């Protein structure tokens, strides 16, 4: 029986599914056929930022810089994905998530489903924004990246399927604490093959730093 979940519960399930399980066999990454399938939210003014985080309205495109850091659309299979690697960590700038490398990290968020047809059906029902240190990312300009995955849900049930995420990679992560801020809006009921999710919105901030910036 397909269960109905709130948006927040579904996003928690997404993290558990992707973080708890590895892949069975080889990972087969593919480029999604058309970047920017999901419509962008109109402006950044409806995005609630953490305190003391300025919102910069100019949109960053592939190759643009945030200081010495570079945002690219060059994701490769097996790379660290910020939202999965950090799970429930990094909720405060006083206790940021510690990355395993300063070279590069995938910062694009994703949406999983039981198979590729469900990914294709669900993706247009999502609206998303992403900010890195207050700089808004022009998500359609970066396109998307699709992966196979296999994992388990919170009840220990094995799930296999596909996941699509925005192909946004942050390279040369600078010293200091950084914040990734995303907003997800579901504009219609979505069925990913395991659960149905009702329309709603969610803001999530994740603070992170490079390994040697935080004492062990």
pLDDT digit string (tens) for the chain, length 216 residues: 445 554 544 454 444 333 333 333 333 333 343 333 333 333 333 444 454 455 566 899 999 999 999 999 999 888 888 988 887 789 999 999 999 887 899 999 889 899 999 999 999 999 999 999 999 999 999 999 998 776 667 777 888 899 999 999 999 999 999 999 999 999 999 999 988 999 999 899 999 998 764 444
Give how far the C-alpha of residue 182 lies from the chain's centroid of Cα atoms, to the nearest Å: 8
The per-residue pLDDT for 3 is: 53
The per-residue pLDDT for 23 is: 36
Residue 58 CB neighbours (<10 A): 9
Rounded to whole angstroms, the Cα distance separating 94 from 42 reads 32
Least Cα distance to 136 among 40, 215, 208, 202 occurs for 40
The per-residue pLDDT for 18 is: 38
Rounded to whole angstroms, the Cα distance separating 186 from 106 reads 22
The per-residue pLDDT for 76 is: 85
The per-residue pLDDT for 55 is: 56
Strand partners, 147: 163
Tell me the pTM: 0.74
Residue 5 CB neighbours (<10 A): 18
Given strand 69-72, what is the order of strands in its sheet? 65-66, 69-72, 169-171, 104-106
104-106/126-132 β-pairing: unpaired
Tell me 57's DSSP state.
E
Residue 18 CB neighbours (<10 A): 23
Sign of CA dihedral 72, 77, 79, 84: positive
């Amino acid at each position: 029986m397909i269960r109905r979940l709130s948006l927040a519960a579904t996003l928690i399930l997404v993290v558990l599914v992707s973080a708890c399980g590895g892949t069975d066999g080889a990972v087969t990454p593919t480029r999604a056929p058309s970047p920017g399938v999901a419509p962008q939210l109109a402006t950044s003014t409806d995005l609630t930022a953490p305190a003391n985080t300025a919102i910069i309205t100019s949109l960053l495109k592939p190759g643009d810089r945030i200081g010495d850091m570079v945002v690219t659309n060059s994701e490769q299979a097996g790379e660290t994905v910020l939202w999965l690697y950090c799970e429930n960590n990094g909720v405060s700038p006083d206790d940021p998530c510690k990355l395993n490398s300063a070279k590069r990290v995938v910062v694009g968020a994703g949406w999983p489903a039981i198979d590729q047809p469900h990914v294709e059906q669900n993706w247009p029902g999502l609206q998303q924004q992403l900010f890195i240190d207050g700089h808004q990312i022009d998500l359609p300009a970066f396109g998307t990246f699709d992966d196979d995955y296999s994992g388990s849900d919170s009840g220990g049930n094995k799930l296999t399927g596909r996941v699509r995420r925005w192909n946004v990679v942050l390279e040369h992560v600078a010293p200091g604490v950084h914040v990734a801020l995303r907003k997800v809006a579901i504009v219609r009921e979505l069925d990913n093959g395991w659960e149905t999710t009702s329309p709603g919105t969610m803001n999530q901030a994740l603070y992170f730093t490079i390994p040697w910036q935080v004492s062990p």
